[in-house]
């Protein structure tokens, strides 16, 4: 649009989006190790390589059944990591005690069912406000940043603000699955939900993260959402590492995310109506 000199209407560059962090989920390195027992491949070695290749954080999910990451891994990660550690965990007294004992930089609260292959769907915050609010308060009192893994749903976002979490992590599984199935209408609908959800969460002063099912083909539009400041990615990168190595796998993701963010910075301008 043309700026024709009216001081009340001008085209202003949007403030630059904050840089986006990449958290690498190392659970599946532990899955492979546990297939044979023993110590190889060691998730800590994977964490070190990921950081060297451009990861900002390391994420691991301590599940109730310890199917991949174990208690000993959490101890070793806490002792050796030089970047923030994000522990994914269920809302249980056992996990609360472990988090309070180790005090990771952050925790991401996720729903957990024993039978599921991976985390299917987000937390139902709306129906668990009374249980979540004190749980979150206790973690925050210990200096731990709390994120809630939720679907990008307006009611869940409002409830997340109500329980006073620091951040939300949007479950991108439906978007990623639609992209995989070649279903453009669902991809478009899910992206809109992510864009609008990110805006709503940021205006409620919540930090916005996203993850689940992201890969090199589908990450761009999510990384370009300016309010999203962190992506957590695991399965694709560990799988890809079998073919090209973990360092290059992480480095390619880092470059793809940064390019999406860069495109946003260069092209995204907005009309602003100023009364000043």
Contact string 237-276 vs ligand PXP (x = CB under 6 A): ----------------------------------------
- Tell me, yes or no, if 212 is annotated catalytic: yes
- Tell me, yes or no, if 88 is annotated catalytic: yes
Q: Residue 146: which residues within 8 A CB-CB, separation 6 or more? A: 106, 107, 108, 109, 136, 139, 140, 165, 166, 167
Q: Which position among 21, 63, 212, 261 is part of the footprint of ligand PXP (CB under 6 A)?
A: 212
Of residues 218, 91, 223, 82, the one with CA closest to residue 147: 91
| Residue 119 found at the interface with ligand PXP (CB under 6 A) | yes
Task: Give the three-class secondary structure for 143.
Answer: coil
Q: How far is the CB of 88 from ligand PXP (least distance, A)?
A: 5
For residues 166 and 146, the answer to whether their CB atoms sit within 8 Å is yes
Contact string 56-95 vs ligand PXP (x = CB under 6 A): -----x--------------------------x-------
Choices 50-58, 135-143, 160-168, 210-218 (CB under 6 A): range interacting with ligand PXP: 210-218
- Tell me, yes or no, if 61 is annotated catalytic: yes
Buried b (16+ CB within 10 A) or exposed e, 220-229: bbbbbbbbbb
Reported as half-sphere exposure (CB side, CA atoms, 13 A), residue 245 has a value of 6
User: Using CB under 6 A as the criterion, which residues of the chain lie in contact with ligand PXP when the complex forms?
Assistant: 25, 27, 61, 88, 108, 110, 118-119, 149, 169, 211-214, 232-236
Residues with a catalytic annotation lie at 61, 88, 212
């Amino acid at each position: 649009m043309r700026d024709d000199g009216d001081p009340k209407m001008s085209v202003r560059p949007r403030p630059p989006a904050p840089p986006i962090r990449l958290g690498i989920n190392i659970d599946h390195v532990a899955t492979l190790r546990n297939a044979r027992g023993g110590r190889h491949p060691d998730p800590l070695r994977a964490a070190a390589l990921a950081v060297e290749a451009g990861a900002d954080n390391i994420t691991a999910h301590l599940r109730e059944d310890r199917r991949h990451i174990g208690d000993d891994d959490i101890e070793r990660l806490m002792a050796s990591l030089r970047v923030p550690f994000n522990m994914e965990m269920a809302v249980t007294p056992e996990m609360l005690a472990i988090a309070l004992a180790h005090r990771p930089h952050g925790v991401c609260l996720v729903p957990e069912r024993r039978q599921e292959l991976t985390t299917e769907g987000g937390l139902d915050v709306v129906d668990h406000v009374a249980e979540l609010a004190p749980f979150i308060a206790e973690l925050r009192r210990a200096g731990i940043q709390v994120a809630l893994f939720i679907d990008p749903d307006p009611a869940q976002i409002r409830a997340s603000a109500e329980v006073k979490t620091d951040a939300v992590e949007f479950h991108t599984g439906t978007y990623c699955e639609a992209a995989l199935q070649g279903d453009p209408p669902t991809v478009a609908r899910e992206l809109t939900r992510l864009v609008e959800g990110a805006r709503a969460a940021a205006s409620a002063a919540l930090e916005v993260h996203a993850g689940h099912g992201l890969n090199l083909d589908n990450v761009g539009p999510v990384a370009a959402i300016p309010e999203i400041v962190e992506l957590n990615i695991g399965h694709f990168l560990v799988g890809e590492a079998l073919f090209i190595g973990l360092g290059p796998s992480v480095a390619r993701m880092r470059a793809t995310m940064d390019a999406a963010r860069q495109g946003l910075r260069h092209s995204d301008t907005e009309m602003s109506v100023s009364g000043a």
